[in-house]
Amino acid sequence: MTQVKMTVNGKTASGDVEGRTLLAQFLRDDQGLTGTHVGCDTSQCGACVVHVNGQAVKACTMLAIEADGATVDTIEGQANADGSLNVIQQAFQDHHGLQCGFCTPGMVMSAAALLKDNPKPTEAEVRHYLDGNICRCTGYHNIVKAIMAASGQDVSAIAAE
């Protein structure tokens, strides 16, 4: 076992991990942060997307040891300081950007990564960026709409669901 220490959602998180322990396992099983979902466990679906040092990565395809010393942000750290939903989360609620909700943590984290680099993406850019996030309910229209709305753009003209 190796001790790892990282900053998760602004707080120090440490624990003992095996070489094979995945970041997703460390977050969920060791830290109790079960908002990071593991859908496919083969880096296809994106339900496990978190940010490591500000970049979106699939937590099911990164070793926890590799995140030693890193800054990790998960869905649990996305809400505003007063506990209210942040702009992206609120937009997902307002535009019905989720059905069963399983993919939502990964969608929100990918959306946050996109909007950080590209604050006003086109609809095509949003869809392209979500290449690695799969919604089993196929509710993509409203997810795209929510992200466009979160970027402050008018979504009234976006194709209806």
d(CA 64, CA 61): 10
Least distance between other proteins and beta carbon 99 (Å): 21
Residues 127-156 touching other proteins, rule: CB under 8 A, are: 129, 131-133
- Say which residues have a Cβ less than 8 Å from residue 154's Cβ, sequence separation at least 6: none
Q: Which amino acid is at 131?
A: D
Q: Between residues 44 and 71, which has the closer beta carbon with respect to other proteins?
A: 44
Least distance between other proteins and beta carbon 140 (Å): 14
Beta strands, E only, the chain = 2-8, 11-17, 49-52, 55-58, 71-73
Among positions 6, 24, 33, 57, the unique one binding other proteins when judged by CB under 8 A: 57
d(CA 36, CA 47): 7
Interaction between residue 12 and other proteins (CB under 8 A):
no
Interaction between residue 46 and other proteins (CB under 8 A):
yes
Interaction between residue 49 and other proteins (CB under 8 A):
yes
Interaction between residue 68 and other proteins (CB under 8 A):
yes
- Tokens linked to 98: 């989720």
Interaction between residue 71 and other proteins (CB under 8 A):
no
Give the closest residue to 52 by CA, choosing from 61, 40, 43: 61
Question: Interface with other proteins by CB under 8 A: which residues?
Answer: 2, 18-20, 22, 41-44, 46, 49, 52, 55-58, 61-63, 65-66, 68, 110, 113-114, 129, 131-133
